[in-house]
Structure 1
Amino acid sequence: MAQKIELLKQKIKVFLKYKTLLNELVVRDIKVRYRKSVLGLLWTVLNPLLMMCVITVVFSTLFRQNIPNFPIYYLAGSLIFSFNSEATSNGLYSIIGSASLIKKVYIPKYLFPISKVLSALVNLGFSLVAMFVVMIVTGAPFHATLLLMPLPIFYVFLFTSGLSLLLAAATVYFRDIAHFWGVFVLAWTYFTPIFYPVTILPSFAMKIMQLNPMYHYVTYMRDVVLYGTFPGMKENLICFLIGAVTLLIGLWVFYRKQDRFVLYV
């Protein structure tokens, strides 16, 4: 037990030692993404607003989905899901994309996928501004539970970090995962109730939906943002355990495989 505690302390010291480098990696990702863009970071606000306008016209007008406060219903779910998809889609390339640096100097390799998650988290923070603007424009109520919004973001951050570590390690050995993941995320989008209500699903589909981690995170986000309710202990435990277990699995696989990355990148 004492050895495990000492090992954990060493890992924390290493992380703190390279904390500045992690910050630089996050800043680099953001700068690269908006390089030569006239509007720059403003796109993190404009993108969800433009998508919300399109989805609102399609599903509120053409398909007649009568969901109260549909723009906020959509944004509360979409922003959480987009954070996960952006972080994992970039994270799976993080090791092979940093091959030249990994071969030259020693850097804790987990910093690369984690930096992708953190840069996506920064984008999420700016995108939330768009949601608040829409809430003001549409007259949506600002519930006190908005103060609890960091909780679902923290839960999905744990889940996304673990998934990004797992994908980054797997992609080093199986490059086809990068191509498969784009198709999977598209299917995952439709399997998550982002722009439709779960009430339209038959009972058997609802049971399957319970196995979708993003369903729990999207529902949690809507509860605190749109409905002004705080999920009970059971839902908090489910969201935390999904995130914590995924993170532990991702770390375990990553550390088991990282010593051989240099042979495959």
Structure 2
Amino acid sequence: MTSKRFFQLAYIYVKANLRVEVSSYYLNYVWWVLEPVFMMTVFYVVFDIMLNQGTQHFVGFLLVGLASWNWFARSVNNSKNSIHDARGLILQVRIPKMFFPFTTVCQDSFKQLFVVALLLLFLLFYPTPVTVCWFALPILLALQFVLNLAVGMFCAAIVPFVPDMRFIVSTVIEILFFATGIFYDLDTMVLPEHRPIIYANPMAGLLKNYRAVLLHGDWPNWFYLLYVAGFSFVFLAVALYLLNRFDNVYPRVCQQ
């Protein structure tokens, strides 16, 4: 399959899946807007109005972290089962198996655009600066897309051979949820000698840079972003190798 044909088919597949996803709801695509609005409203009411606690601008701090983390967690969790869930199609049509985690991440990324738009709208009225540093946001989003794709593809490549991995992946994501600094500032809550270990997790550093850009009006740490890019592309290369190496094996594995 040529690259052009691959991306054309991916576009059609993602578009069809998005339509099917909302076809059972009366409000259809409106839910892509309402869901993040409800989430942001709940956290705003709980943490800013009812509890009135946390760091300065804690609601903005929390929402930026949750928006980024939920995109990562949703993409990886959905991707890890993508090849197994498509076994009916795999047994009928010869198609590169990387197609399924790729389209899954693209589908979740498209919905993330609505979350980002609502988050930016919220921050326009929030007491944090809107600066030229916001132009760095597309770079952060592009890097996270590659990271989501790399981890999602790697998990999708392994799970058909080791089904128990799906539970391990979910558990690791739950652990990282509390170790990535979504609810607290890593630089103030983690001892200096432990920070290199924490920031070895690319999502921890990405969240810090999202907040620097959107909440503090600072440019991201470009050297750290190089690390995230290197980590993501190496992980992606390994995932693509595995998916290509076992492309003809997956149909037999999925039949078991």
Q: TM-score, normalised by structure 1?
A: 0.87
Aligned to 1:3: none
CA–CA separation in structure 1 for the residues paired with 2:194 and 2:174: 18
1:213 and 2:202 correspond:
yes
Which of these residues, 19, 33, 37, is aligned with residue 49 of structure 1? Answer: 37
CA–CA separation in structure 2 for the residues paired with 1:196 and 1:47: 24
Q: CA deviation at 1:59?
A: 4.5
SS of alignment partner, residue 71 of structure 1: helix
Return 5+ residue gaps in structure 2 as ranges: none
Which of these residues, 130, 153, 162, is aligned with residue 165 of structure 1? Answer: 153
Q: CA deviation at 1:103?
A: 1.3
CA–CA separation in structure 1 for the residues paired with 2:79 and 2:250: 15
- Within a 5 Å distance, the mapping from 1:99-138 to structure 2 comes to 99-138=87-126
Distance 1:58 1:212, change over 3 A: farther
Distance 1:56 1:142, change over 3 A: same
CA–CA separation in structure 2 for the residues paired with 1:87 and 1:120: 6
RMSD value over aligned CA atoms? 2.0
Q: CA deviation at 1:167?
A: 0.8
Distance 1:41 1:142, change over 3 A: farther
Answer with 187-196 or 205-214: which moved more: 205-214
Aligned to 1:35: 23
SS of alignment partner, residue 109 of structure 1: coil
Aligned to 1:193: 181
**Structure 1 vs Structure 2: percent identity of aligned residues?**
22
Aligned to 2:133: 145
Name the aligned partner's letter for residue 146 of structure 1: W
CA–CA separation in structure 1 for the residues paired with 2:199 and 2:19: 38
Distance 1:48 1:201, change over 3 A: farther
CA–CA separation in structure 2 for the residues paired with 1:55 and 1:195: 11
Q: Give the number of aligned pairs.
A: 252
- Within a 5 Å distance, the mapping from 1:18-33 to structure 2 comes to 18-33=6-21
What are the superposed Cα offsets for residues 48-77 of structure 1, whole Å, 9 maximum, x if unpaired?
332233334555554821232x23222222
CA–CA separation in structure 1 for the residues paired with 2:181 and 2:39: 16
Structure with greater proportional helix content: 1
Name the aligned partner's letter for residue 208 of structure 2: T
Q: TM-score, normalised by structure 2?
A: 0.90
Q: CA deviation at 1:136?
A: 3.0
Q: CA deviation at 1:124?
A: 0.9
Distance 1:204 1:261, change over 3 A: same
Which of these residues, 207, 220, 227, is aligned with residue 231 of structure 1? Answer: 220
What are the superposed Cα offsets for residues 174-231 of structure 1, whole Å, 9 maximum, x if unpaired?
1112223222222111111112112122334423211211011111212222222112
Whether the 8 Å CA contact 1:89–1:181 is kept in 2: the answer is yes
